[in-house]
C-alpha cells in the first residue's frame, strides 16, 4: 500500500512535480509542510503551501507543486505515497472533505501517525511489506476519521471514532473487542452502529476488526518470540487452530511459515 515516504528539505527550484508527468500508475500523496513554503496548482486553483497544511493529491491528475525560485527559499516536509485498489476507492472521500490543500493541526492523528510511520521506516523498523501495509492502513483510517462523515453520518463521526479507538486500545485483551462492545462504546444499537461504521470506514465492523487482528498478529509474529497460542489470544482468537486457518486465508501463509520467512 505504501510506495514511498520521506522527510525532506528542498532548497532548489528544480523541485517541481507535474501530476500528468509521473507515469500511468495510480497513487495518492499526503505531504505535510513543517517549515518554509511551496506552491501548489490543482486544476485552475493556485495557492501557497505553508506550515501546518497538507497537500492531498492523486495521480495521474492535472496538478503541479514546486519550490518557487527565490533567494533563501526552502520547503521542509514529510510525505507518504500510497497505492492500491482500496486506497484509490477511499481517497475520493478524503479529497471531497478537504480538497487538495488542508490545514491540519500538528497533533492531529493523521499527522502524528504519518510522522511516526516515516520515522520508523527511515530507522529501519519497518522490515516487511506487510508491516508497511499495516502502517498505511492505520494512517488511511485516521485520515478518513478526520474527514467529516458524509450526509447524515456527520453527527455520528465522533461516536464512530470513539468506537474505533476503543477497539484499538483493547485489541491485545483476550478475547478482544467485538462488534457489540464497539457499538456500546459508540452509544448505539448494533444495527445502527454497523450501518454507520460501514459507511464511514468502508467495511463492516466485523470485517474491519478481523483485518486489524490479522495485522496485529503479523506484527507480533515478526517482532516477538511469543508462542502462536499466546499471539492468537492477544489478537482475539480463542482457538489457535482457527487463528491459523484465518491467518493463512488472509495472508497466504500459515503463521509459523510467515514468522520464518520474514515476509
CATH of the domain at 44: 2.60.120.280
Q: Residue 231's pLDDT is what?
A: 92
End-of-domain residue from the set 146, 175, 198 = 146
Q: Are residues 166 and 122 both part of a single domain?
A: no
End-of-domain residue from the set 112, 146, 180 = 146
152 domain-assigned: no
Q: Are residues 33 and 122 both part of a single domain?
A: yes
User: Under 8 Å CB-to-CB from 198, ≥6 apart: which residues?
Assistant: 204, 205
Q: Taking Cα atoms as reference points, which of 200, 189, 190, 188 lies closest to residue 151?
A: 200
182 domain-assigned: yes
Q: Are residues 32 and 103 both part of a single domain?
A: yes
196 domain-assigned: yes
- What total of structural domains would you count in the chain? 2
39 domain-assigned: yes
Q: pLDDT of the chain along its 263 residues, tens only? A: 788 999 999 999 999 999 988 888 889 999 999 999 999 998 878 899 999 999 999 998 889 999 999 888 999 999 999 998 888 888 988 888 888 999 999 999 999 999 999 999 999 998 888 888 889 988 999 998 886 544 444 568 788 888 988 998 888 776 678 899 999 999 999 998 998 887 776 678 888 888 888 888 888 888 889 999 999 988 888 888 999 999 888 777 899 988 887 54
Q: Are residues 138 and 166 both part of a single domain?
A: no
49 domain-assigned: yes
Q: Are residues 9 and 139 both part of a single domain?
A: yes
* Domain that includes residue 123, residue range: 2-146
Q: Are residues 8 and 135 both part of a single domain?
A: yes
CATH of the domain at 193: 1.10.10.60
End-of-domain residue from the set 84, 111, 146 = 146
Q: Are residues 42 and 102 both part of a single domain?
A: yes
Q: Are residues 27 and 113 both part of a single domain?
A: yes
Q: Are residues 54 and 138 both part of a single domain?
A: yes
Q: Cell 454497523 maps to which residue?
A: 194
Q: Are residues 188 and 214 both part of a single domain?
A: yes
77 domain-assigned: yes
d(C-alpha 197, C-alpha 183), whole Å = 9
Question: Cα–Cα distances in Å, from 33 out to 81, 195, 235?
Answer: 15, 36, 36
151 domain-assigned: no
Q: Are residues 82 and 120 both part of a single domain?
A: yes
167 domain-assigned: yes
Q: Are residues 172 and 131 both part of a single domain?
A: no
Contact between residue 100 and residue 63 where contact means Cβ atoms under 8 Å apart: yes
* CA 92 to chain CA mean position, Å: 14
Amino acid at each position: 500500500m505504501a510506495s514511498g515516504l520521506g522527510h525532506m528539505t528542498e532548497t532548489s527550484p528544480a523541485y517541481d512535480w507535474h501530476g500528468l508527468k509521473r507515469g500511468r500508475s495510480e497513487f495518492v500523496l499526503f505531504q505535510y509542510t513543517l517549515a518554509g513554503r511551496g506552491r501548489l496548482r490543482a486544476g485552475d486553483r493556485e495557492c501557497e503551501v505553508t506550515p501546518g497544511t497538507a497537500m492531498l493529491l492523486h495521480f495521474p491528475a492535472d496538478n503541479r507543486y514546486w519550490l518557487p525560485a527565490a533567494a533563501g527559499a526552502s520547503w521542509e516536509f514529510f510525505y507518504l505515497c500510497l497505492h492500491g485498489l482500496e486506497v484509490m476507492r477511499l481517497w475520493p472521500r478524503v479529497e471531497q472533505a478537504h480538497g487538495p490543500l488542508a490545514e491540519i493541526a500538528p497533533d492531529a492523528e493523521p499527522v502524528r501517525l504519518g510522522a511516526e510511520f516515516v520515522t520508523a521506516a527511515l530507522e529501519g523498523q519497518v522490515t516487511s511489506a506487510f508491516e508497511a501495509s499495516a502502517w498505511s492502513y492505520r494512517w488511511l483510517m485516521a485520515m478518513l476519521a478526520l474527514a467529516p462523515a458524509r450526509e447524515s453520518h456527520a453527527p455520528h463521526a465522533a461516536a464512530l471514532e470513539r468506537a474505533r479507538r476503543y477497539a484499538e486500545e483493547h485489541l491485545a485483551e483476550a478475547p478482544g473487542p467485538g462488534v457489540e462492545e464497539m457499538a456500546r462504546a459508540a452509544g448505539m444499537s448494533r444495527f445502527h452502529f454497523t450501518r454507520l461504521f460501514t459507511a464511514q470506514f468502508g467495511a463492516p465492523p466485523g470485517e474491519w476488526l478481523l483485518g486489524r487482528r490479522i495485522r496485529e498478529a503479523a506484527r507480533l509474529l515478526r517482532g516477538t518470540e511469543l508462542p502462536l497460542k499466546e499471539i492468537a489470544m492477544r489478537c482475539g482468537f480463542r482457538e489457535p487452530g482457527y487463528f491459523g486457518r484465518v491467518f493463512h486465508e488472509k495472508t497466504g501463509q500459515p503463521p509459523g511459515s510467515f514468522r520464518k520467512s520474514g515476509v
